[in-house]
Amino acid sequence: MCQFKSAIVVKDAKQNGGFRLLLSPWTDSHSDLIALHSLRDDGKLRFARIEYSPPDMSAAHRPETYKLKIDEGRTPEWFDGDMKEAVAKKMQAHIKTLIVTGEVALLMGGQFIIAPGAKIGAVKNALVASVLDASIDSVYGSAHIGSVSGSARIGSVSDSARIDSVYGSASIGYVSGSARIDSVYGSASIGYVSGSARIGSVSDSARIDSVYGSASIVKDARAKK
């Protein structure tokens, strides 16, 4: 499975360093990137599939912790040690452009990493890889957040917004509309869930205070008292 942040490296003598990075805010799938850029994928080593990732997503706001990984057993002959180092530096520079700090009224479109202490008014139709120890008033539209952790706080999640995981001591005020949260665990908490919103699983000491309407919790793995 491809990890954040994935890219394709192609040889290009016209570019600084002799290569180009092909990546997209909308996907970390190498297959998608190959199709998006109409690359010929016939088993020959025409390009290199790489991932540039932190040790875990709680360190996503710290580019210095990221490591470059080759996502296949072989690489082209031209992808040598010097180029690998140059690719890592370029990927680190890209990650730095995604990090949001301070106070921001609206994040919309594109991909972001919300750093600790940031205060975001709203996230709409955007991709957020990680939220750690930060606050967001509302998440809506088709926004997609990878992880919410630490002491992060989100006021509301609505429309068709989606969050993959909420954990640590993170909290969400309410989830409504057709919003979806795949997993809630640790000591995370959600005030209430309503509309046709869906929670994939709840485990550990995570808490959901109320569920209304046609909202659902697919799997509740918490120990029954």
Query: For 26-41, how does the pLDDT look when each residue is reduced to its tens digit (9 = 90+)?
Result: 999 999 999 999 999 8
CA distance 109 to 225: 44
Which carries the bigger pLDDT value, residue 201 or residue 223?
201
pLDDT band at 223 (very low <50, low <70, confident <90, very high): low
Query: How confident is the prediction for the chain on average, in pLDDT?
Result: 95
pLDDT band at 132 (very low <50, low <70, confident <90, very high): very high
Residue 1 scores a pLDDT above 60: no
Judged on CB neighbours under 10 Å (0-12, 13-18, 19+), 96 is exposed
Q: What is the mean pLDDT of residues 124-149?
A: 98
- Per-residue model confidence (pLDDT) at position 80: 93
Per the CB < 8 A criterion, the answer to whether 94 and 87 are in contact is no
- Per-residue model confidence (pLDDT) at position 103: 98
Q: What is the mean pLDDT of residues 175-192?
A: 98
Query: For 4-14, how does the pLDDT look when each residue is reduced to its tens digit (9 = 90+)?
Result: 999 999 999 99
Residues 6+ apart with CB under 8 A from 23: 5, 6, 7, 8, 33, 94
CA distances from 219 to 89, 168, 216 (A): 42, 19, 9
- Per-residue model confidence (pLDDT) at position 224: 58
Phi/psi at 68 (nearest 5 deg)? -90, 130
Q: What are the start-end ranges of the E strands in 67-143?
A: 67-70, 99-100, 103-108, 111-114, 119-124, 127-132, 135-140
Query: For 82-121, how does the pLDDT look when each residue is reduced to its tens digit (9 = 90+)?
Result: 999 999 999 999 999 999 999 999 999 999 999 999 999 9
Domain residue ranges of the chain, discontinuous segments joined by +: 6-97, 101-220
